[in-house]
Structure 1
Amino acid sequence: MIKHVDHFHGSDLEKIASIYGIRKEDIVSFSANVNPLGISPKLREALAEKIDVITSYPDREYTSLRKCIARYAGTDLGNIIVGNGSTELISLFIQIEHPKKALIIGPTYSEYEREVSLGGGTSLYYPLQESEDFKLDVEHFCGKLNESIDLLIICNPNNPTSTSITRSDMRRILDVCKQHDIYVMVDETYVEFAPDGLDVTAVPLTEYYNNIVILRGISKFYASPGLRLGYAITGNDDLVKKINNRKNPWTINALAEAAGELMFQDTDYIKATRQLISAERSRIYRELSSWDTVKVYEPTANFLLFRILEDSVTAQDIFDSCIRNCMMVRNCSTFPFLNNKYVRFCFMNPAQNDELIRCIKQVLAGGPAR
């Protein structure tokens, strides 16, 4: 088992504010990977008008919400399971499948291994190679799959590398997993940020494969982590029944239910988000690629990973300088297979991104960030 080191999460603003003597309200979090547009103006206005929904229980089946999600994701209503954030659904799925041995493509989100461990299972990692820019070598990877593995866990696009697996490659992986009776859990938390034309989502594959479940949430793209709304997509009817039978009723509150029905139909907000992230992702990637002080990995999500090439500078140096200027980035030394030379940050609005880039550049040049 990989040993995980404690770190500051993107939500730990109170702790950071106390340590560094700054107000949490002044911190711009480049670590949380949340949409810089904030919640949709339409959602803000509509929720205020729908406040009375809290006087009634939600529909136990969440039929209207699931219909909205099905249309949004391009799948059938019967394939949708809703939950109290994708974290609850990850936990429920692992409790039901009860894998003895899971294989995780890493470096990635530590919660997967934790849930497998809580269920009494063990986790192995298939490490993405820095020499290949953290892109998966599908042929080599498929050669490592065998009958001893019960569950394969993939984050796509992956956090923190921002790399992704195309649908055609995912199909190849699913074919091999089917041969070895391996269930595949794909976390698509960041898939809505992926570039147009890059076929990343595996949702269409649920029509043909019954050994895959896809997890999504609204925390990042819709900037609503506090609503705790997640959903799973699978073509496996037995799994749908098992999860629905196990999970508690009304796990989604009435406001989250109402918000979900609104946000998945807010095409203006969706378009604006994709345009902003696409433009800033391209611009910032080009900028950092021109530096000789870092190596940057081509991103497909709303965040970017880079490796520091300056011997005298560490990820903690950059974290400290940025936070003293009220900007929080992620020191990635806590991720499996990464060290104190890796930093991740998400894309905010252009002016904030420019300020962050100036700060990082100043640290790499050996001077204090101002």
Structure 2
Amino acid sequence: MRPTDQDRHGGNIYNRQIRYDFSSNINPLGIPAFALQKLREEAVCCERYPDPEYRGLKTAIAQMEQVPGEWVICGNGASELIYALPRALAKKKERPLRALVPQPSFSEYERAVDAAGGQAVSFILKKENGFRITDEILNKLTPDTDLLYLCNPANPMGNRLEKDLFANILRQCRESGTVVMLDECFLPFCEDYETASGKRVLKENPQLFVLNAFTKIYAMPGIRLGYGMCSDNTLLRGVREQIPEWSVSQAAQTAGTSIARHRIREPRWDYLPRTRELIRNQQKEMAEKLRELGMEVFSPAADFICFYSRIPLFEGLERAGILIRSCANYQGLTAGYYRAAVKNPEENRVLLREIRRIVNAAGKEQYPGMQPSPGMEQAGESCG
């Protein structure tokens, strides 16, 4: 099966025989055990409505992130906030909302603007710059730009936004009144999260809305819990008006509050350090192996790797029971670009083994008599 519109995002394993899902970027350590136990203990709470103001959760997140509680807003996953923000902004405009979206990036940014009746203007990033945002974006921020979407680390390329450039962007947007949504859902995988997060400049930049989630870093995508931080209470109130009541489920409040409070009480909790060490080591090894197989690997900074292959991989891996993310439907990318999650060592070895098998099979077809790549003698077993 070729990737279709159903593969707009990762994690769609439900109509496939998939054993290894590398298409969604979830912490390989899994959801913290105590949070899972708390969910079991409080399952009976599903018989009542959740707190519509999610007060305990909001307080815990604010303490965890060290920001005022009134700066925090939660949603049914980060995606609900991605959609709510442009609707809130469009409501105040006498003309259609205009948003700038660097591409390639998460497709829901543009879809959210379209859903709000606005116009999403694409800023296509250049391959020669490693698909990084450069100071060229400052020229694209016109006086009528109402909203700018940024993602740090970027999805799907994995690169980081340069700090000085980010400061210049904020300065220009502050002067023009442009709201900046900064998506940091992958930043907790980076060791410098606390010093790199945009939350540190929220006070002097009320136009900045920092987006984060428990989804990726705490391996709970099925529970759906995202949150935003912003120092502009009027903007937050407008966003809140666009979100249905009881949007944050009882399960999400239970799991999120449990994790946030644990981080506050146990500052030496090793879950995040172990996560970052695992990702760092496996990421380096995977990148090296992919380059050995002839892939063009883009510098990763989160829990996934983006690479380009001249040899088609999607269908061959799917037949072997492995799902990766084809990036052919990202603006600015083409067929041959893929994104793969960084998982546990055993799973990563399976992925690399199967890619090697596909590469060697393609080489034999093109060059009869070709010798297998080093290590191919152990790669005969399919994981499908």
User: Taking structure 2 as the reference length, what is the TM-score of the superposition?
Assistant: 0.85
* Amino-acid identity (%): 29
**Larger-gyration structure (1/2):** 2
Aligned to 2:108: 111
Report Cα offsets for 1:275-318 as digits up to 9, x if no partner.
Answer: 211221222223334x262211110111011112x4xx2xxx31
Report Cα offsets for 1:164-219 as digits up to 9, x if no partner.
Answer: 21444322111011222211111111111124479532111112101111111222
Establish whether residue 303 from structure 1 lines up as the match of residue 298 from structure 2: no
The structure 1 residue matched to 2:75, chosen from 61, 83, 100, is 83
Report Cα offsets for 1:50-107 as digits up to 9, x if no partner.
Answer: 2232244333322221121112222111110111111111221111101621110110
SS in 1 for 2:278: helix
The structure 1 residue matched to 2:205, chosen from 198, 209, 212, is 209
SS in 1 for 2:155: coil
Distance 1:91 1:118, change over 3 A: same
Correspondences of 1:341-356 after superposition (within 5 Å)? 341-356=336-351
Deviates more, 1:177-186 or 1:296-305: 177-186
Aligned to 1:252: 248
Aligned to 1:279: 281
- Cα deviation, residue 10, structure 1: 2.3
Establish whether residue 52 from structure 1 lines up as the match of residue 44 from structure 2: yes
Establish whether residue 129 from structure 1 lines up as the match of residue 126 from structure 2: yes
The structure 2 residue matched to 1:63, chosen from 27, 50, 55, is 55
State whether residues 38 and 254 of structure 2, in contact with CA within 8 Å, keep that contact through their aligned partners in structure 1: no
Structure 2 unmatched runs, 5+ = 91-95, 264-268, 365-379
State whether residues 166 and 199 of structure 1, in contact with CA within 8 Å, keep that contact through their aligned partners in structure 2: no
State whether residues 212 and 227 of structure 2, in contact with CA within 8 Å, keep that contact through their aligned partners in structure 1: yes
Measured in 1, the distance between the counterparts of 2:215 and 2:54 equals: 19
State whether residues 288 and 294 of structure 1, in contact with CA within 8 Å, keep that contact through their aligned partners in structure 2: yes
State whether residues 105 and 155 of structure 2, in contact with CA within 8 Å, keep that contact through their aligned partners in structure 1: yes
Distance 1:128 1:200, change over 3 A: farther
Establish whether residue 92 from structure 1 lines up as the match of residue 84 from structure 2: yes
Measured in 2, the distance between the counterparts of 1:198 and 1:44 equals: 26
Aligned to 1:182: 178
Report Cα offsets for 1:213-253 as digits up to 9, x if no partner.
Answer: 11112221111111111111001111122223443322112
Report Cα offsets for 1:103-156 as digits up to 9, x if no partner.
Answer: 10110111111111111111111122111112221x222122211311111121
- Cα deviation, residue 6, structure 1: 2.2
State whether residues 293 and 356 of structure 2, in contact with CA within 8 Å, keep that contact through their aligned partners in structure 1: no
Aligned to 1:169: 165
Q: How many residues align?
A: 351
Measured in 2, the distance between the counterparts of 1:364 and 1:129 equals: 27
- Cα deviation, residue 48, structure 1: 1.2
Measured in 2, the distance between the counterparts of 1:135 and 1:361 equals: 29
Distance 1:115 1:79, change over 3 A: same
The structure 1 residue matched to 2:319, chosen from 321, 324, 327, is 324
SS in 2 for 1:102: strand
Measured in 2, the distance between the counterparts of 1:294 and 1:11 equals: 23
RMSD over aligned Cα, in angstroms?
A: 2.1
Structure 1 unmatched runs, 5+ = none
SS in 1 for 2:212: strand
Aligned to 2:142: 146
* Paired amino acid for 1:213: F
Distance 1:45 1:364, change over 3 A: same
Aligned to 1:222: 218
SS in 2 for 1:334: coil
* Paired amino acid for 1:280: Q
State whether residues 52 and 247 of structure 2, in contact with CA within 8 Å, keep that contact through their aligned partners in structure 1: no
State whether residues 170 and 202 of structure 1, in contact with CA within 8 Å, keep that contact through their aligned partners in structure 2: no
SS in 2 for 1:226: coil
SS in 2 for 1:333: coil
User: Taking structure 1 as the reference length, what is the TM-score of the superposition?
Assistant: 0.89
Establish whether residue 38 from structure 1 lines up as the match of residue 30 from structure 2: yes
Distance 1:304 1:40, change over 3 A: same
Measured in 1, the distance between the counterparts of 2:320 and 2:24 equals: 17
- Cα deviation, residue 367, structure 1: 5.5
Distance 1:126 1:195, change over 3 A: farther
Aligned to 1:194: 190
